[in-house]
Amino acid sequence: MRRSRRDEAVIHDNTSASPGKAWIVVLAGGVAALQVGKLPPALPALQTELGLTLVQSGFLLSMVQLAGLSLAVFMGLWADGMGLKRSMVRGLCLLALASGLGGFATSVTALLALRAIEGLGFLMVALPAPALIRRLVPSEQLPGMLGVWGAYMPTGTALALLAGPLFIPAWGWGVWWWLFAVVSLGMAVGVWRSVPTDPAEHRTRAGQGAWQRLRLTLIAPGPWLVALTFGMYSGQWLAVVGFLPSIYAAAGVSGLLLGLLTALAAAANIVGNMASGRLLQRGWAPRTTLWLGFGAMALGSTVAFAPFTEAQPWLRFAGVLLFSGLGGLVPGTLFSLAVRLAPGDQQVATTVGWVQQLSALGQFLGPPAVAAVAAHAGGWQLTPLVTVGCCAVGAVLAWAAGRLLAQAQSRP
C-alpha cells in the first residue's frame, strides 16, 4: 500500500523518537506559562502600589497576548525557519529579559509594554512545541503526549497562583518578577543542552516557501475551525481564573487559603487536559470531548457566579472546579485536532501559530469583557452571560470541526 507524504514524514520523525526529551519541551512550556500566571496573584499589590483600576487590571492580564493576537501565525513561520529548538531557547531568554526589567517598573505603561514583550517570548516557546513533540514521540503516543502538552498552561498558572500569595507579601512583586527571570534563563540552558537540534534537512525544507505555507494554512477550513474554537475557550478561562485572586481577596480571603483556592482552580484544568489524550486514544470522537468540555464550562460558570448560589460559597467554588476541570478537555483535544487538520506536514507549526493567534485574541478580549460586565453590574453575577455565550459558539464550531475530520478520514 502506498503511503502518503504525511505518513512518511511521521515515520521519519519517529526514527529519532525520544519521549523523555519531549517532557523537557513540556517543562519549558510550563515555565513560559509561569510568566502568564505570575500576574493574577500580584494584582492586589499592583492595584495598591500603582493605582490600577479594574479594567486596567483586565488589560494587564491580557496584554501578554498582544504579540499572539497580532503575530502568532508569522511567528509560527519564523519558528520553522530558525529551527524549533532554537526558537524555544530564544523565547525563554526573551522572557527572562522582560521579566527582569519588569521588576524595576514604576508605572502601568512600562509594565504593559514589558508584558507585551513577554508575550512575544511566550509565543517563541509555545508555537514550536507541538511540532517538536511530534518529532520526539512515536505516533501511537502522540495524542496522549499532546494532551500532556495541553496542560502546560494550567500547570504553570497553578504553581504561580499557589506561591504568589505567600511570596509577594513577604518579598514584593518586583522580586517575584526577578524570580521568574532566573527560572526562565535556567530553563533556556536546560533546553539547549537536552533537546536534539533540528535535522539539517528539516531546517532547509522549513526555510523554503514560507508564504506558500501560510497561504495553504489560511485557505484551509481546519485551522480556522480549531483556532476559533480555541478562542471561545481561552478567553473565558483566563477571565475567570485570572480574576479569582481579586474576587476572593475582595471577599476577605487572603494568605495561604487564597493561594490554595486559586491554584486548585487552575490545577483542576490539568486533569481535563490529561484525560483528553486518554479518551482520544481510546477512540472517543474529538467532537464528543469538546461538547463535554464546553457543557461543563457553561454549567460550572453559572453555578460559580449566579445570584442563586451567593449564600453557598463552597458550591460556587465547586462550580469553578467544574468549569476549569472538565473544561480542560477542550485544549487537549484542540491541540490534537490542530495536528490532524493541518493542511500538510509542513504546515503544522503554522497551523499551531494560527490557533495561538485566535486563542490570544480570545484571551485579550475575554478579561476586559468580563471586567466591563462586572463593573457595569456592580458585581460578578452577570459573568455567565459571557461564558455561556462562548460555550454555545464553541459547541457549534466543535460540531463543524468534527464533521470536517470525519470527511478527511473517509477519503482514500
Give the CA distances from residue 402 to residues 131, 193, 275, 358, 409, in Å, rounded to whole numbers and listed in that order.
22, 40, 19, 19, 11
- Comparing 112-126, 190-204, 259-273, 313-327, the range with the smallest average pLDDT is 190-204
Is the pLDDT reported for residue 226 higher than 90? yes
pLDDT one-digit tens code per residue, 261-299? 877 888 888 899 889 988 988 889 999 999 999 999 999
- Residues 249, 323, 123, 31: is their CA dihedral positive or negative? positive
- Distance CA(109)–CA(70), nearest Å, equals 19
Greatest Cα pair distance in the chain: 67
Nearest to 148 by CA among 331, 362, 304: 331
- Distance CA(141)–CA(277), nearest Å, equals 9
Q: Kindly provide the b/e burial profile for residues 278-310, where b requires at least 16 CB atoms within 10 angstroms of the residue's own CB.
A: ebbeeebebbebbbbbbbbbbbbbbbbbbeebe
Architecture per CATH, 5-410:
Up-down Bundle (1.20)
- Comparing 88-92, 322-326, 339-343, the range with the smallest average pLDDT is 339-343
Contact 130, 335 (CB under 8 A): yes
The SS3 assignment for 312 reads coil
- Distance CA(245)–CA(232), nearest Å, equals 22
Contact 302, 388 (CB under 8 A): yes
The reported pLDDT for the residue numbered 9 is 42
- Distance CA(230)–CA(333), nearest Å, equals 10
Is the pLDDT reported for residue 1 higher than 60? no
- Distance CA(112)–CA(91), nearest Å, equals 18
The reported pLDDT for the residue numbered 278 is 87
Q: Model confidence at 246, in pLDDT bands (50, 70, 90)?
A: confident
Q: For residue 113, count other CB atoms closer than 10 A to its CB.
A: 17
Contact 301, 355 (CB under 8 A): no
Query: Three-state secondary structure along 238-303?
Result: HHHHHHHHHHHHHCCCCHHHHHHHHHHHHHHHHHHHHHHHHHHHCCCCHHHHHHHHHHHHHHHHHH
Contact 168, 41 (CB under 8 A): yes
- Distance CA(136)–CA(80), nearest Å, equals 16
The reported pLDDT for the residue numbered 204 is 54
Q: What percent of the chain has pLDDT over 70?
A: 91
Residue 349: all three cell numbers together: 507549526
- Distance CA(89)–CA(57), nearest Å, equals 30
Contact 395, 291 (CB under 8 A): yes
pTM above 0.85, yes or no: no
The SS3 assignment for 323 reads helix
Contact 323, 295 (CB under 8 A): no
- Comparing 119-128, 154-163, 225-234, 344-353, the range with the smallest average pLDDT is 344-353
CA 48 to chain centre: 28
> What one-character DSSP code corresponds to residue 26?
H
The reported pLDDT for the residue numbered 255 is 67
